[in-house]
Structure formats: structure tokens, C-alpha cells
Structure 1
Amino acid sequence: MMTLSAFLIMMLVGIPIGICLCLGALAYIIDSGNPLLFSNYPLQLFGGVDSYGLIAIPLFILIGEIMNGGGITQRIVNLAMACVGALKGGLAYVNILANMMVSSILGSATAQVAIMSQIMVPEMEKKGYDKTFAAGLTAYGGMLGPIIPPSVMFVVYSTLAQVAVSDMLIAGIIPGLILTLMFFFIIMVMGFFYNYPRGEKQSLKERFSIFLDASPTLLIPIVIVGSILSGLANPTESAAVGSIVAALVGRYWTREFDLSQLPKMMLRAGIYSAIVLFLVAAAAVFSWVLIYGKIPLMIAESIKNVATSPIAFLLIVSVALLLIGTVIDGIPGLIMVVPILLPIATGVYGIDPRHFGVVVVINLVLGLLTPPVGLCFFVASAVTGAKPGPMFIVTIPFFIVSCLLLVLLCFYPEISTALLK
């Protein structure tokens, strides 16, 4: 009780979630009256980040920095424009398609929204789209980042759940593609009712020229995802090779990447990585005291009285996680819930931990697009000037199909595990 009270009070006064987790664990040790636990505290803290797979996080972030600084993002957008830009509502399709392509490199929703909002929203405004819709659509496009590999959230989950990082990245491919197609369908329907403008039609010669200019940039996701799927490299190795490929493409093909930018890029990647890794270490300590206190077992007993099947359990968890995701950022939310819910999902209901990870991540990412916080909307608002509240209202159809995907995942786990068999 003391641990829960201390944790909630610290969260309410605005103390960062990582510190809340560390101090909450200390509160439990004090309350337990077992001084021997103090000696294990630093070991658990260090053990939380003592994982080879976590090295992939700073490397994936660095790839995104190099890609943005090297003009690679803009060429991917141009390629998406050449593919679907001439359709009715073409720029809306381009927004989602470009986000899907970029997500195979960045893997972070907030970073993706910040980058793509600068590129897509002004262009959509010029063509007659409402700025609020354009910004909201870009925010939902950013949702693909943590689902389509690589994904920082999947790397963190794999460490918490002790499953292979490569399995988690592969598990996100089909759900990510399905969500993209669902977004396309919504754009098609909305384009019919709101008469969205068509994009400029490009000649075959112009399309070929754009494809030729952008084709080397496609080496980056091919190297990252292809090496993982083929088994030639693990995620950490593929991220290292991917960062080298991104630097070479930006330096010698786009000629926009300057080596003098690299120290600043590495510093930004290091700062963000340090925040993520501190959260992982704090989660390790907190989950350690939860297990010691048999908290997951007590929660499992409570849930078993309500959820009589794996599907019922997943549906209940989805509602709970969506509510958690509305007030807590993705990775902190992941770190808080996985140590509690994963043992119940696997031990009581026999749910595949990789499938459970996909459900958890999509729920928490959707929370980034749901009031009262809606972090991705605030990021898009900061870049574009559009208001977060109206953004949510105009993108409600995208919220509905995202929830529909979660329901499908609850009933059909093979959606996430098909490529793993």
C-alpha cells in the first residue's frame, strides 16, 4: 500500500516516470522491512539495461537523424507522390504512404510526426486541404512508426518480455500493413464526401526520374528489414549497417549529409537513448519488487474472475491500455504495464508473448492520439499551428479503424504471428 501511495503521489506532482519507478521500488523495500533487498537494488538497476539488444535503440535513432539531415526523407515523399499522387485525395494517400516508408527507418511515432508535419502539412495546405485535417492525418501516419519495423517500442518490449527482438519486429509487419490499407480506405471514403483534390499528374518520364533519384534511399529499409527477415543479421547488427548505409547515401547520392553534422546528430541520438534506457532500468527495478511482492499473482486472480478466455482478457486489457495511453507516453506506459500483465497473459491464458506485445504497443501508440494528452497531436500542433482538439475530431474515422484492428488482433492472433511460423 505504501508503494502504491508513494508512486501515485509522485506521478500527480509531476515527477518524471523513471524517477517515480525507482523511488516507488525504494518505498516498497522500506515498507517490507527486509534490508537485504537494498543490496540487490543496484544490481537489478544495472541488469535492466545489461542487454545486447538494447544497443539497437541509439542506432535506430541515429539512422533517423542521418536520414532527415541527408535529404532522404524528402526523396521518399517524392517517391510516394509519384506512386499515388494523381489519385483523388492524392496528397492524403501520399501522407500515409510516405509515413509507412519512413516508419521502416525511424521507428518512433513522435519523431516521425515532427519530421513529416514539416514536409506534408504545408504542401497539403497549398493544394487546398484543411490544415487541421492535414496535421491530424500526419499524426495518425506517425502511428505506423512503432508498428512497422524497426521500432524502439518493440525493442524495449522484447527486453522486458525476454523474447527475441527480431521476432517482435517481424510480428509488427502484417498489422502495420493492414492498418495502412485501412487508412487508405478511410481516405477514399472521405475523399468521395469532401471532394479532395487530385494531385498533379506526372508523366512516365518524370516518375522514372523520381524513382531513379529515390531508389538508393530504399536501400536503408531493405538492408534493415531484409537482413532481419533473412537471418543474416540480428536487429542490432542490421541497425549498425543501416546507419552506415544512410550515411553513405546521404553523403554520396543526395549530397546533403555533411560529416560536420554527425557529432550533433550523435548527441541528439544519445540524449534520447539515455532517456529510454533509464526508463528500462527503472522498470527492471520496479518489476523486481512487484514480483517479490506477488502483485502479478494477485492481479491475475482478480482478472480471472472477469475474463474467462484469452479473447476476453485481451479485450479488457485493450480498454485498460488505451486509457493508460491517453495520459502516459508510449515507452513509460509499456514499462509500467508489461511486468504486471505479461505473466498473466502467458501463464494464465497461454497467449503468445509476441502477439501480446503487438496488442500492447498498438494500444499505447493509439493512446498517443487520444485526449486528454494525445502527445502526437501536440507535436503536430507545435510544428503546424493547428489545434489538437479539432485534430482529434476530424480524424475520428482513423481512430475507429485503429480500434477495429485491435479487435481483429484479439480474435485472430495469427495476424501478428503468421510470419513467425
Structure 2
Amino acid sequence: MTPLIFAFKLLIGVPVALVLALSAIWYIWESDNAVLYDSFAQKMFSGLENYGLLAIPLFMLTGEMMNEGGMTRRLINAARVFVGGFRGGLAYINLLANMFMAAIIGSANAQISVMARAMTPEMEKEGYDKGFAAAITAAGGLLAPVIPPSMLFVIFGVLAQVPIGEMFLAGILPGLLLVAAFAVVIFSIGVFQGFPQGRWFTRAEALSALLYCLPAMLIPTAIIGGILFGIATPTESAAIASLIAFLVGWLVYGELDPRALFGLFKRTAVNASTIIFMIAAANVFGWVIIYEAVPQKLAALLSTITSDPFLFLLIVNLVLLVVGMLIDGIAAVILFTPILLPIAMNDFGISPYQFGVVICLNLVLGLLTPPVGVGLYIASSMSGAKPGTILRSLWPFLIAVAVVLVLLSRYPAITTSLI
């Protein structure tokens, strides 16, 4: 009965955190196990007793301060220095700027919102189709869950009980591979459509753009450098990055008013509390799953289908692709990690880092695919292009992501070689 109640609540649109908590309560009531009732609150709060969870609001705060402090414009100008003169240069600028932003924001929705507002009008002025401009921006948002810092990696690391810093390292090569795949798509489309010729900056313009961007680049340097060289934990790096974002936006660029901090803190607290409550509810739900030995039963079923880790990951990819179209990526990671990770590790010998990168990238695809497609509608509202128009230009990028997912599933070294 509990699975039916769970599915029904999801279908009628009950918030995922409440679905998880209420399903666990229903199971406890159905099993008539008083011991489980006594442990419910303890299990819920124990899900939050993890130092790594502090990284979530801190990374969110960094992104808010960066948006408020005018760093986005400087990063776009810096991207122009490197790729602005190529044919279709503004499309490559969009991609490269998205890569810079991914190393700061860590949230696909936030990144799509910021970049669609900044880049689509500029591309339209230079003769690009509005739908294509919005599609590149939306596809670039998929870099946020892979290139560190990634909010999904923080959540997966907490649930999987693996070091978050190592999860970040696991995402570097896949992120660069995804950037390369998107660049190939842009080049291929440009050959057929005849993109406009870009303009290289003069030496003085290039030096000026790079100089003004240097303070903003301190943020990803602090985050990734601190983790790579063992100077700071991911949580400490997030705290340092938020402080740098505040000081740069206020003292260097002069665009961040300290009086705006209360509003930034409030938005961060509201957004972070939603995710953290989901994690607390998922801890109780995961406890019920383990109590019922669901992973073991599912593993036994899957072992009758295949014993090949690659084929197992392909099956998982196909299933989660459908799930991601219906459920928010963060909620899906919280929901499926406790079920699928033990099977991947214990029955198929798959590294948790490889598995984490694959499912996080897979589930975030749902942001851009109907019927939910939150990222698609964000790109539409910020750019003024219709969702259908964006989707028609987006499919080559989605195919590129699928190819990258297959490569990540087939070759674990792409995710584990830097760890």
C-alpha cells in the first residue's frame, strides 16, 4: 500500500519533501512498529547533522552576491577575449561565460536565469535566431551541476557519505568534456547556418577586459584551488568565496550595496531551507527503504537482467531520464541515491564518484525537457522566445549530453582519474 500512496502523492503534486516524510509515516503506521515511531524525529534531524550541508546556503549566497555585484558582465567580456573573433564568436562566448559561471553559481536554474537575461539580447542584436540564442544559454546551464562547485554534488556527497571535495574533483573532466561537446555542436550548426563573423578585441580592450575580470575570477579560484591544494574544505571554500564576492562587489566594482545584504540573506535562507528539509525527509525515507531491504530486492531483480556495470548504468540512465522529466533534479537525487547507490557499489563494483556524476548530469536534463522542464521555461521567460522554439534548437545539445553520459558510463577513468 505504501508504494501506491507514494506514487499517488507525487502525481497530485504534493511537494517532494512532504511525499518522503508522509510516506515514511504511512509505512510506520501500516507496520504498527512503535519503535519506528519513537525514532522518526531522531532520524529526521540526524540527516542534517552533516558539516558538508553548510556548503549549500554558502554557495547560494555566493551566487546571489555575484549577481548583485556585477560580476556576470565582467566574465562575459573576459570570454570575448578568448573566442570573440571566431565565426559565431558570440555563441562561443555564451558557452565559455556559462563555464565561468558554473564555477561560481553551482545551480542550473540560477545560471540559466542570469545568462538568458544577459546573453540572448546581445546575440539577437548580432543576427542570431532568438530560439537558438536561448537554447545555447539553457544548454550552458547544464554545466552548473557538473563543473564544481555543484549543489547536486554536495547533496549526493552527503547522501552517499563520500568526501564532497573528491566529488568536485570527479566533475572537472566530465565538465570539460561537456564543454567540448557543446563547442562541436555550435561549430557544426554554424557551418550549416553561416553564423556571423565575430570581432577580436584590440590589445587594449583585451587587457582591460581581463584586468576588470581578475577580481571576479578570485571566486572560482578560491573554491577550486582551496579544495585541490587541501587548504580548505568545500564548506570553508564556500564561506571564503561568499566573503570574496561581497568584498569584490562592494569595494572593487561598487555595485553591491551593503544595505541589500538582508534581502540576499533572506532569499538564500528560503531557497536553502527547501533543499535541506528535503534532505531531512529523505533520511527518514531512506531509513524505511533500508528497513524493507528495497536495494537488495532491486539488486536481485537487476542481476537477472545483467551483470555488466556498463549495461546497468545504461538501464539506470534510461530510467532516470524519464524520472528527470517528471521530478525536480534535486528531489530525484535525494530520492534515488539511497536506492540505487548500494546496488551500483555492492553488486556492480561501480565507483560512487562515477555513479554520482552520471546520475546528477542525467537528472538535470529534466530541466530542459517537457512536461516539467523548469529550466526551459526560465530560459523562455528571460529571453522572450517560446519554449517550443527553444526546444527545436536545443535537441542537438541534448544529444551531445546523451553521448557524454554514455562515455561517462563506459569509461570510469573520466570521473576517477583526478581523485
- TM-score, normalised on structure 2? 0.99
Distance 2:398 2:12 in 1: 30
The structural deviation recorded for 1:307 is: 2.0
For residue 101 of structure 1, what is the aligned residue in structure 2?
100
Q: How does 1:216-255 map to 2 (within 5 A)?
A: 216-255=215-254
- Residue 31 of structure 1 aligns with an amino acid whose one-letter code is E
Question: What secondary structure, in the 3-state scheme, does the structure 1 residue paired with 2:307 have?
Answer: coil
Distance 1:347 1:300 in 2: 9
Distance 2:319 2:126 in 1: 40
- Residue 181 of structure 1 aligns with an amino acid whose one-letter code is A
Stretches of structure 1 lacking an aligned partner (at least 5 in a row): none
Question: What secondary structure, in the 3-state scheme, does the structure 2 residue paired with 1:172 have?
Answer: helix
Distance 1:372 1:276 in 2: 22
Moved over 4 A (4+): none
Q: Check whether the contact 1:21–1:286 (CA below 8 A) recurs between aligned residues.
A: yes
Task: Indicate yes or no: 2:272 matched with 1:273.
Answer: yes
Q: Check whether the contact 2:50–2:158 (CA below 8 A) recurs between aligned residues.
A: yes
Query: Deviations 1:158-216 (Å, cap 9, x if unpaired)?
Result: 01100001011110000000100111111111111101112233211111111111111
For residue 369 of structure 2, what is the aligned residue in structure 1?
370
- Residue 329 of structure 1 aligns with an amino acid whose one-letter code is D
Distance 1:170 1:160 in 2: 17
Q: Check whether the contact 1:170–1:419 (CA below 8 A) recurs between aligned residues.
A: yes
Q: How does 1:276-291 map to 2 (within 5 A)?
A: 276-291=275-290
Question: What secondary structure, in the 3-state scheme, does the structure 2 residue paired with 1:148 have?
Answer: coil
For residue 46 of structure 1, what is the aligned residue in structure 2?
45
The structural deviation recorded for 1:9 is: 1.2
Q: Check whether the contact 1:85–1:198 (CA below 8 A) recurs between aligned residues.
A: no
Question: What secondary structure, in the 3-state scheme, does the structure 2 residue paired with 1:326 have?
Answer: helix
For residue 204 of structure 2, what is the aligned residue in structure 1?
205
Distance 1:220 1:13 in 2: 41
Q: Check whether the contact 1:71–1:254 (CA below 8 A) recurs between aligned residues.
A: yes
Distance 2:8 2:110 in 1: 30
Distance 2:277 2:132 in 1: 36
Q: Percent identity?
A: 47
Q: How does 1:132-147 map to 2 (within 5 A)?
A: 132-147=131-146
Query: Deviations 1:270-309 (Å, cap 9, x if unpaired)?
Result: 1110001011011101010011011111111111111221
Distance 1:407 1:193 in 2: 27
Q: How does 1:29-178 map to 2 (within 5 A)?
A: 29-178=28-177
The structural deviation recorded for 1:234 is: 0.3
The structural deviation recorded for 1:43 is: 0.7
Distance 2:335 2:213 in 1: 40
Q: Check whether the contact 1:125–1:131 (CA below 8 A) recurs between aligned residues.
A: yes
For residue 298 of structure 1, what is the aligned residue in structure 2?
297
Query: In the comparison of the two structures, how many residue pairs are matched?
Result: 419
For residue 350 of structure 1, what is the aligned residue in structure 2?
349
- TM-score, normalised on structure 1? 0.98
The structural deviation recorded for 1:369 is: 1.7
Query: Deviations 1:375-401 (Å, cap 9, x if unpaired)?
Result: 211111121221222212212111111
The structural deviation recorded for 1:371 is: 2.2
Distance 1:200 1:352 in 2: 45
RMSD: 0.9
Distance 1:392 1:229 in 2: 37
For residue 320 of structure 1, what is the aligned residue in structure 2?
319
Question: What secondary structure, in the 3-state scheme, does the structure 2 residue paired with 1:395 have?
Answer: helix
Distance 2:392 2:342 in 1: 37
Question: What secondary structure, in the 3-state scheme, does the structure 2 residue paired with 1:86 have?
Answer: coil
Distance 2:304 2:392 in 1: 37
For residue 192 of structure 2, what is the aligned residue in structure 1?
193
Distance 1:347 1:134 in 2: 44
For residue 22 of structure 1, what is the aligned residue in structure 2?
21
